[in-house]
Amino acid sequence: MLNVKCKKLIIANWKMNPLTVKEVVSLAKKIDDKDLVICPPLPFLSIVKNEIEKSELGAQNIFWENKGAYTGEVSARMIKEFGVKYVIIGHSERRKYLGETDEMIAKKIRAAIENKLIPILCVGETIEQRKGGGAEKVIKSQLQRDLSLVIGHRSLVKQFIVAYEPIWAIGTGISCEPKEAARIHRLIRGIISNFVRQLADRISNLRIIYGGSVDSKNIGNYLKYNEIEGALVGGASLRADEIKKIVKISKSHSVSSNLTR
Ligand code: PGA
């Protein structure tokens, strides 16, 4: 058994921002870094691709079919044309505002994997669920349903990211206690290892990252936990200085693993 170290992963989720091409160009140029994945809005994918030399590109959503009569949707196959490597799936804002269900998310996860995109599956509980003591139950149920179509396809699952994003911490400035986030991360790895043993056993194949009001002041408190293997950053990723600081801090941490590779 080897002790292997790998980098923490920082993912910028720009959501539906910024507004103009000028702002997109300026921000992308400033924050370009080999340890950063940038997920811009879909219409700006090719613009960001042209501006970056080091960062990797991610999308914020895909549809589950590759092509056809699905007005307004964009497929995994299409975004691959832009050199996209990652895709966020099941973000709580999509679950809430677009009515995305776990069944839809499961199909999107399958589409991503079949198209060799690395899914960033977002899971997390509401404040009511947490207060009622049901955070673990909610997360388990989300993972079970969202992964239901890939569980039998072990060979398909080469790389997978789960973002633990407690809904009450997203965009609120109220971040989850790092120790508590680390506990939930352990729980998530345990749950997934029951579903897809080979995936969860390899830390390079499954990464669990934290999201929810991450900024340059608190990122170090999260990344010092080995279980927290990176961060999904929303609001702070739109401020060049902030995200650059976050990436810089992330470089001084690593994930060490005694697991088999
Ligand atoms: P936030 O968003 O950093 O603005 O809280 C995180 C996310 O929703 O991915």
Alpha helices in the chain (DSSP H): 21-31, 45-51, 76-80, 92-97, 102-114, 127-131, 135-146, 178-195, 197-201, 219-223, 240-250
Which residue among 51, 56, 100, 165 is the active-site one?
165
Per 3-state DSSP, what percentage of the chain is helix, strand, and coil (rounded to 5)?
Answer: 45, 20, 40
Dist. CA 7–CA 229, nearest whole Å: 8
C-alpha to C-alpha distance for 1 and 114, rounded to whole angstroms: 31
| pLDDT value at residue 199 | 62
Q: Is the CB of 96 under 6 A from ligand 1?
A: no
Q: Which tens digits make up the pLDDT trace of 51-109? A: 999 999 999 999 999 999 999 999 999 999 999 999 999 999 999 999 999 999 999 99
Mutate to test the pocket of ligand 1, among 232, 239, 243, 246 (most ligand atoms within 8 A of CB): 232
Could you report the per-residue pLDDT of 25-44, keeping only the tens digit for each?
A: 999 999 999 999 999 999 99
**Cβ(129) to ligand 1 under 6 A?**
no
pLDDT for the residue 260: 45
203 pLDDT tier (thresholds 50, 70, 90)? low
Sign of CA dihedral 46, 30, 94, 223: positive
> Closest Cα to atom 9, ligand 1: which residue?
234
User: Residue with structure tokens 């997920």?
Assistant: 39
Which one-letter DSSP state was computed for residue 69? Answer: S
What average pLDDT is seen over the chain?
92
DSSP per-residue codes, 25-59: HHHHHHH--TTEEEE--GGGHHHHHHH-SSSEEEE
234 Cβ closer than 6 Å to some ligand 1 atom: yes
- Hunting for tokens 């749950």 — which residue is that? 191
Q: Is 235 left (phi over 0), alpha (psi -120 to 50) or beta?
A: alpha
| 165 carries an active-site annotation | yes
What pLDDT band is residue 261 in, cutting at 50, 70 and 90?
A: very low
Nearest atom in ligand 1 to 88's CA: 9
- Residue 256 is predicted with a pLDDT of 84
Residue among 88, 96, 214 to mutate when testing ligand 1 (max atoms within 8 A of CB): 214
Instruction: Give the residue, by CA position, lying nearest to ligand 1 atom 6.
Output: 234
CA of 212 to the centre of ligand 1 (A): 5
Name the pLDDT band for 157 (thresholds 50, 70, 90): low
Tokens of 97: 């505002």
Query: Is the CB of 132 inside a 6 Å radius of any atom of ligand 1?
Result: no
Percentage of the chain modeled with pLDDT above 90: 82
Q: What is the CA radius of gyration of the chain?
A: 17
Taking the CA atoms of 58, 61, 66 and 72 in sequence, report the sign of the dihedral they define: negative
